[in-house]
Amino acid sequence: MVASDAEIGVEVNVKEEAAKSSRKGLITLSVVGLLCVGGLAGGLAGGLANRGDDDDEEHVHMPLAGTWLSNYGCYLTVTDELWYDVCSWGTTVKRIETYEPSFAVLQMPAEDTYNPRKYLKTEFHSLPGGGWGYCDSIYGLDHASQALLADTSELYDAANATHGCGGRFSHSLLTAYELPIRGTWATNFGATLTISNGAWESVHATWGTTIYRIEAYGDGWVLMQNSAEDLYYPSQYSKVEWHTSGSGFGYCISVYDGSDSVSALLEDTSAIYDAANATNGCNGFGHTFTSPAQ
């Protein structure tokens, strides 16, 4: 079922009435067009091949795959297909067209204010102490091929941390970010939660076991996918919003039936979740509270 503890037996039923408050955006380049630019066919097709099934022995994951905290206070989760960028000033989800060991070609979302649906090239390098530095070396392009073929040798210098992005700007820096609420917890509804960076498991003696795959996370939120066997919302996406409470945390599943991860993350839940209202701050219902499991 959808909720992770109380919601498993209680909130799901009421939320179906009270909470009513593409997948892949890849551009398919024609073979003819690719041949016209020589080696582009191999480069782009090879990059797209990197995004095959995880069981494919030839599959190479995006080098930046994982969750990161930037030096600007943004939470980035990078997968083989999407680049989630959640900052205090807004959230942007870019689609990854292709990637190589040192760069990726991304597409901006259609709703972007400045460069809707435009392509950019993000170049990156590993840092000696761990983490990554990166630079959007070129952007605002109409086609993925333009970003892939662009000569950015004068725009990106991995060795120049202070002016190596466009010749004037410093690199953005990323450090690995662990989910703060990972661990094992007991809820006020009798469930046991086991949370890692990649999964959220809820076990209740009466309501059974529910396991979600975590897609992305940051400080105060978790984006996760329901299992394909879920009784009510199979394979759909949920957003958990949480806040520290005592030695544990309080939380609310503010979105539980997202058709895809992007829409679930971007849904406006300001009228649903109120961290300061423990009794009615989850769409009129109380928060679920946790404490460290004994």
pLDDT, one tens digit per residue, over 193-241 is 999 999 999 999 999 999 999 999 999 999 999 999 998 999 999 999 9
Stronger pLDDT, 280 or 59, i.e. the higher one = 280
Does pLDDT of 25 surpass 60? no
Give the global pTM. 0.82
Work out the angle at residue 281's Cα, subtended by the Cα atoms of residues 278 and 283, and round it to the nearest 5 degrees. 145
Percentage of residues in the chain having pLDDT higher than 70: 81
What average pLDDT does this structure show over 252-262?
A: 98
- Total of domains in the chain: 2
User: Domain boundary at 132, 160, 176, which?
Assistant: 176
> Mean pLDDT of all residues in the chain?
86
Look up the domain containing 283 and give its range: 6-22+178-292
Are residues 108 and 169 both part of a single domain? yes
What average pLDDT does this structure show over 49-63?
A: 67
pLDDT computed for residue 18 by the predictor: 35
For residue 1, is it within any domain?
Answer: no
CA dihedral 65, 69, 72, 75 (to 10 degrees): 70
pLDDT in tens, 262-292: 999 999 999 999 999 999 999 999 999 999 9
Stronger pLDDT, 156 or 46, i.e. the higher one = 156
User: Domain boundary at 176, 198, 230, which?
Assistant: 176
Does pLDDT of 248 surpass 70? yes
For residue 60, is it within any domain?
Answer: yes
DSSP state of 43: H
What average pLDDT does this structure show over 117-146?
A: 98
For residue 28, is it within any domain?
Answer: no
User: Domain boundary at 148, 176, 204, which?
Assistant: 176
Structure tokens at 172: 């953005």
Are residues 165 and 41 both part of a single domain? yes
pLDDT computed for residue 17 by the predictor: 33
Are residues 74 and 191 both part of a single domain? no
Distance CA 220, CA 80 (A): 24
Stronger pLDDT, 36 or 176, i.e. the higher one = 176
DSSP state of 116: T
**Residue 66 vs residues 122, 223, 267, 287: alpha-carbon distances, Å:** 16, 14, 23, 29
CATH number at residue 242: 2.40.128
Are residues 172 and 183 both part of a single domain? no
